[in-house]
């Protein structure tokens, strides 16, 4: 039965677009209704496949942003890459009622569920927030009993994905703390950090190492490697640090 379940996840299936929502000028959330969806764990991803009229296929992997509590609905948040084959179509041309081929969920390493406990420390760079947002949404839906801190690095205020929702959750979800840093532009009166993530910032925001936090870091490769190296130097156990990185698509 387990083998059959794995094979099922690797089969392509159709999902219908039931909602789209701009998150920033360059990112859009796409919600799909996927009949027969068997569920996922926060942190997993899916493969999407687009097929042109001449039969050419383009495939890309996207992290799932929605919590497993959404049942048959799967939300992906896509950042537009100007030179990409897939993301411009998903962000600019896709409409409700369209169908997309997907397979998954995929991945079992970079996952967190409320039953795993904490404290939880999340570090995101840019669109690396997406799988971490699935964890935050799951935490809120499951009962916010796990103390959680998020450090989120963005280039500017307008590029903070899920900014309004994160603000709401810090007010309505006890035990969730969010710290932002902006690396390029800061608006007047900005009270957050104004630089790239460094050792002093992580020392300020992270849980003390003796609390043995579960840590998830996601973003561009240099960002992830830098943050993980700093945390290890601060005394975080490597076995409690999980990383997921991404780079430009081919």
Domains and CATH numbers, the chain: 2-106 (2.40.30.10), 114-246 (3.40.50.80)
pLDDT higher than 60, residue 16 = yes
Tell whether the torsion through CA atoms of 211, 212, 213 and 215 is positive or negative: positive
Q: Give me the pLDDT at residue 249, please.
A: 37
Please compute the mean of the pLDDT values over residues 227-250 and round it to a whole number. 86
**8 A C-beta contact, residue 41 and residue 69:** no
Cα–Cα distance measured from residue 172 to residue 214, given in angstroms and rounded to the nearest whole number: 23
Edge-to-edge order in the sheet of strand 73-79: 57-63, 45-51, 99-106, 13-24, 27-33, 73-79
How far from chain centre, in Å, is Cα 79?
Answer: 11
The answer to whether residue 57 scores a pLDDT higher than 90 is no
> Span 49-69, mean pLDDT?
91
Predicted confidence (pLDDT) per residue in 63-77, tens digit: 999 999 998 899 999
- Would you say residue 2 has pLDDT above 60? no
Phi/psi of residue 12, each to 5°?
-75, 140
pLDDT of residue 143: 85
Quick one: pLDDT at residue 246? 80
- In this model, does residue 3 exceed pLDDT 60? no
Average pLDDT of the chain, as a whole number: 93
Instruction: Quick: pLDDT tens for 145-190.
Output: 899 999 999 999 999 999 999 999 999 999 999 999 999 999 999 9
C-alpha to C-alpha distance for 104 and 106, rounded to whole angstroms:
5
| 219 alpha-carbon distance from chain centroid | 9
Top-confidence residue, 82 or 7: 82
Beta bridge partners of 245: 219
| Nearest to 222, CA basis, from 243, 250, 191, 194 | 243
pLDDT for position 51: 87
pLDDT digits (tens, 9 = 90+) for 122-144: 999 999 999 999 999 999 999 88
> Cα–Cα distance between 70 and 238 in angstroms, integer?
32
pLDDT by residue (tens digit) across 91-134?
999 999 999 999 999 999 999 999 999 999 999 999 999 999 99
What pLDDT is attached to residue 146?
95
What does the angle CA 88 – CA 93 – CA 96 come to, to the nearest 5 degrees? 130
Angle between helices 163-172 and 129-142 (to 10 degrees): 30
pLDDT at 220 over 80: yes
* Structure confidence at residue 1 as a pLDDT band (50, 70, 90): very low
Percent of the chain exceeding pLDDT 90 equals 87
User: Tokens 């916010």 sit at which residue?
Assistant: 144
Residue 123: strand pairing partners: 151, 217
Q: Could you tell me the CA-to-CA distances from 77 to 57, 129, 177, 207 in Å, in that order?
A: 21, 10, 22, 28
């Amino acid at each position: 039965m387990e083998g059959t379940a794995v094979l099922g996840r690797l089969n392509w299936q159709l999902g219908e677009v039931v909602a789209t929502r701009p998150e920033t000028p360059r990112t859009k959330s796409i919600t799909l209704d996927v009949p027969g969806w068997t569920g996922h764990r926060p942190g997993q991803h899916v493969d999407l496949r687009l097929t042109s009229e001449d039969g050419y296929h383009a495939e890309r992997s996207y992290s799932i942003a929605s919590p497993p509590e959404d049942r048959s609905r799967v939300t992906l948040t896509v950042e537009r890459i100007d030179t990409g084959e897939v993301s411009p179509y998903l962000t600019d041309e896709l409409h409700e009622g369209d169908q997309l081929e997907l397979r998954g969920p995929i991945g079992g390493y970079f996952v967190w569920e409320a039953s795993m406990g904490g404290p939880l420390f999340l570090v995101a760079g840019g669109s690396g927030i997406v799988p971490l947002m699935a964890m935050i949404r799951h935490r809120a839906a499951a009962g916010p009993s796990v103390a959680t801190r998020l450090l989120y690095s963005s280039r500017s205020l307008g590029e903070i994905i899920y900014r309004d929702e994160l603000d709401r959750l810090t007010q309505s979800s006890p035990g969730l703390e969010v710290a932002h840093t902006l690396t390029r532009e800061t608006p007047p009166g900005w009270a957050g950090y104004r630089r790239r993530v460094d050792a002093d910032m992580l020392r300020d925001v992270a849980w003390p190492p003796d609390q043995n936090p579960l840590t998830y870091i996601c973003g561009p490769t240099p960002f992830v490697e830098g943050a993980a190296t700093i945390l290890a130097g601060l005394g975080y156990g490597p076995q409690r640090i999980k990383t997921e990185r991404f780079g430009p698509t081919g």
